[in-house]
Structure 1
Amino acid sequence: MDLIANLISNPLTLKLVVIATLSLSYGFSLIVSILNLKHRRPRIESSLAEFIDENKYAQLLAYNKEKSRLALWEGLLSFAALLLFLLFDGPGQLDRMLASVIAHARLRALVFFGILSLASGLLSLPFSLYHDFSLEARYGFNTKTIGIYISDTIKGLILGAVFGGGLLYLLLICIDTFGSLFWLIFGLILFAVTFIISSLYTTLILPLFNKLSPLEAGDLKTAIEKLASQTRFPLSGVYVMNASKRSKKSNAFFSGLGRFKKIVLFDTLIANHPVDEITAILAHEIGHYKRHHIPYGNVLSALSIFITMALFSLLVGSRSLSLALGAADLQVHINLLAFFLLYEPLSLLMNIGTNIISRRFEYQADAYAVRAVSVESMGRALKRLFADNLSDLYPHPLYVFVNYSHPPLLARLKAIEALKTLDTQTLEAVKKEGGV
């Protein structure tokens, strides 16, 4: 035990542990990504021929390969930069430089992470520009102008500074004020903030980037209101988002607190899908609500937050950890950075667990949609969505296991086709009860 205690109190040992942890996490993710990139994609299935012909399938394969390669190069550059930053005691050197001009510890911590965030953003900027204005443009997706890109970037930086900086400042206050109980107090604050932001996203955040307009009267609005009534979904409004100002990709979602839910449709979804497919997609979203996936997700989020904060509380006061990253003495913000790096393997495992649950929820929401609308409408909606977005049809199973929050298309189609065996009278009876 004394040997272990001596090892974990040795700054050099801790530095090697941090670097090894970071390297192993990156190495695992790299292997999974390469396996997916090299994974053999078979010929397109005949069941998809209506939506994806041979030419479009070739385009789909090329698009996903280019996107994967771009992500690999970006990840490699980020890893190399971070590794060099740690090897040459970058965190400690940066903190000493800031300490010479900023005496206030909390303000110095804010500037410290602000500089790291800006550096990360600058590293990813060329990849982001290439992704939007070359890759996405060549495959017919990008519609944003350079002006919109700059505006989005500035707004994103401001939001990051306000929310990220504000939460960091609150964390530092909690550490100074509540001592060993800081993790519990800040965990409650963090959960409350994330819950409010996610619940009020369409009111607080979305209008900063996109315009929401009420859906005009017509067949689609009538069909949506009928579906909401049939499924007893508390609908407070249906809105159209001008997603086409940035991309031609399609989606839909609902947001709102309590029983006041807003349905938001991308204008690209309305343009590309017939009414029955759009109602099937919305029935899937309603399925998440009816199967209580949102409160389950909130519970998982709370568990993740409190586990993370409890573990951080074990390292927050470690002087050796600060020294390991080049500091001259204990610095809480440097320990926070070290914790993020050491937390990578556990974060990866937690994300895998969350993705397993999320994929299960997606199957349940698909099943609900099939019972509320029809197997045919849901199947066509999924096929058209995947085809229009050039989504990968044959990802590597390990890549799916690690990274996918939604099941691949063919797995979803197989699952909903199995629902055809359900007794028709049973389905109709359940529909009438509004609990499809």
Structure 2
Amino acid sequence: MVFYLSAQTIYILFLLFFICSICGQLYLSVRQSKAVLAHRSHVPSAFVQSVSLAEHQKAADYTLAKQRLARYEILFQSLLLLIFTLGGGLDLLAHLSQKWVQHDIAQGIVLIGLFALVNMILGWPIAWYRSFCLEAKFGFNKMTMATFIADQFKGSLIAIIVGLPLLYIILWLMRILIAANWFGGAWWLAVWLVWVSFSLLLMWAFPKWIAPLFNKFELLKDDALRTRIENLLQRTGFQSDGIFVMDGSRRSGHGNAYFTGLGKHKRIVFFDTLLKDMQISEVEAVLAHELGHFAHKHVFKQMIVTFILALIVFAVLGWLLPQTGFYTGLGVHEVSHAMALLLFMLVLPVFTFPFSPLSSVLSRKNEFEADRFAAKYANADDLIHALTKLYRTNASSLVSDIWYSRFYDSHPGARERIAALQTAVKAD
């Protein structure tokens, strides 16, 4: 027996979670701003010797500016959500798609494409302001307007090339499997398998064919650093497709390092901005931290968790899809498979916001484990120095509100993280 929800129930639940989500996000943002502002006048004791007051205050002002923008974004995105749902925006887009094309799958593709286009255009002003006003004010933006426009164009083109076939296959499967009632109504299982396959394909292809469309990747030329890294890789038993340097300075003054890809296409990537500020031993420590994620199988575990959560999401969609109340309760009257996909994905963040701390807790746990791995195979002091430099060059706040951190921070707070590494030094 299938449990159905009435339109009124859906409507009340949506408004309840919507209000809680907005108020929660705004409340946490204000808490973060107050915590940062309260400590702006003095450097935390753990960093007095390594971070100047001017650098600390720059990080505080940068964080406060980002939080102000974030609050505007929360309100703007919330307004858009109401316009698209209860305001009839999705119905309007559905009418346009039906007017332009006749085939049901084509209508669905046009519907989702129109939504993506409108959403992208409306998001441009904030994206522009973030890069050319906020980031520029604090000396981080290196992007030209030509690069900004080119990135938008290339991103849209890739979304079409990759997303169009995936969307067509999903809509085609939904039409065939639902009509034939195959898999006992569990059509969402087949759709989930397709989505997982596409996700793995993208992870495999990203470093080789997609990332180079946006940045230049060159093999590491520093012989001393490359030798040091190769020795570390040998000690840890890690194999990669190469050690690359990315021209991150074309867009930003922020520094970073990361791993990407699957199988033989795994790559180690350093931002050129990171290498400019780091000693060889510090780069080795940063890399050892990243290797710790692979040694503890964090990437694999996170991928499995993501796929399981996606399976649950598709199962819930399968339960809601035949329920008329799901659409009318959210202000939609043009019912279709594409509309079900679009509407569900649009409102999903509203209902999942209360669960945000769960993923953050797991991520911070993984970061601590990776730090301990780095302390074992490199040097904890070097990692402390490297992290402190990253906090300075990226203007990362050394202070964070405890509840804001629990909800949003994927990495431990600066003081907490450094204290754990100092404990590792003493243990040695």
Q: Which residue identity is paired with 2:414?
A: L
Task: Pick from 263, 270, 275 the counterpart of residue 265 of structure 1.
Answer: 270
- In 1: Cα distance, 2:326 partner to 2:386 partner: 52
Deviations 1:159-179 (A, max 9, x none): 222333333222211211223
> 1:359, 1:406 within 8 Å by CA — same for their partners in 2?
yes
* Greater displacement, 374-383 / 117-126: 117-126
Q: Unmatched 5+ residue regions in structure 2?
A: 179-184
- In 2: Cα distance, 1:344 partner to 1:217 partner: 45
RMSD over aligned CA atoms reads 2.2
> 1:144, 1:247 within 8 Å by CA — same for their partners in 2?
yes
Cα distance change of structure 1 residues 353 and 328 upon mapping to structure 2, 3 Å threshold: closer
Superposed, 1:45-124 pairs within 5 Å as: 45-124=44-123
Q: Which residue identity is paired with 1:257?
A: L
Task: Pick from 222, 227, 230 the counterpart of residue 225 of structure 1.
Answer: 230
- Length-normalised TM-score, structure 1: 0.90
The corresponding residue for 1:354 is 359
Offset of 1:279 from its aligned partner? 0.5
Offset of 1:121 from its aligned partner? 1.9
> 1:251, 1:269 within 8 Å by CA — same for their partners in 2?
yes
* Greater displacement, 113-122 / 403-412: 113-122
- In 2: Cα distance, 1:273 partner to 1:286 partner: 18
Cα distance change of structure 1 residues 328 and 293 upon mapping to structure 2, 3 Å threshold: closer
* Greater displacement, 399-408 / 159-168: 159-168
Offset of 1:376 from its aligned partner? 0.8
> 2:17, 2:351 within 8 Å by CA — same for their partners in 1?
no
- Length-normalised TM-score, structure 2: 0.91
- In 2: Cα distance, 1:51 partner to 1:196 partner: 43
- In 2: Cα distance, 1:134 partner to 1:258 partner: 40
Q: Which residue identity is paired with 2:25?
A: S
- In 2: Cα distance, 1:200 partner to 1:328 partner: 39
Offset of 1:291 from its aligned partner? 1.1
- In 1: Cα distance, 2:117 partner to 2:376 partner: 48
The corresponding residue for 1:129 is 128
The corresponding residue for 1:207 is 212
Cα distance change of structure 1 residues 377 and 228 upon mapping to structure 2, 3 Å threshold: same
The answer as to 2:174 corresponding to 1:169 is no
* Greater displacement, 411-420 / 330-339: 330-339
The corresponding residue for 1:407 is 412
Offset of 1:52 from its aligned partner? 2.0
Aligned length: 419
Q: Unmatched 5+ residue regions in structure 1?
A: 425-436
Offset of 1:397 from its aligned partner? 1.0
- In 2: Cα distance, 1:178 partner to 1:35 partner: 48
Q: Which residue identity is paired with 1:398?
A: W
* Greater displacement, 291-300 / 326-335: 326-335
- In 2: Cα distance, 1:78 partner to 1:311 partner: 24
The answer as to 2:23 corresponding to 1:27 is yes
Cα distance change of structure 1 residues 98 and 237 upon mapping to structure 2, 3 Å threshold: closer
Offset of 1:267 from its aligned partner? 0.7
- In 2: Cα distance, 1:345 partner to 1:75 partner: 12
- In 2: Cα distance, 1:119 partner to 1:357 partner: 35
The corresponding residue for 1:44 is 43
- In 2: Cα distance, 1:328 partner to 1:403 partner: 35
Question: Could you tell me the percent identity over the aligned residues?
Answer: 28
Q: Which residue identity is paired with 1:109?
A: G
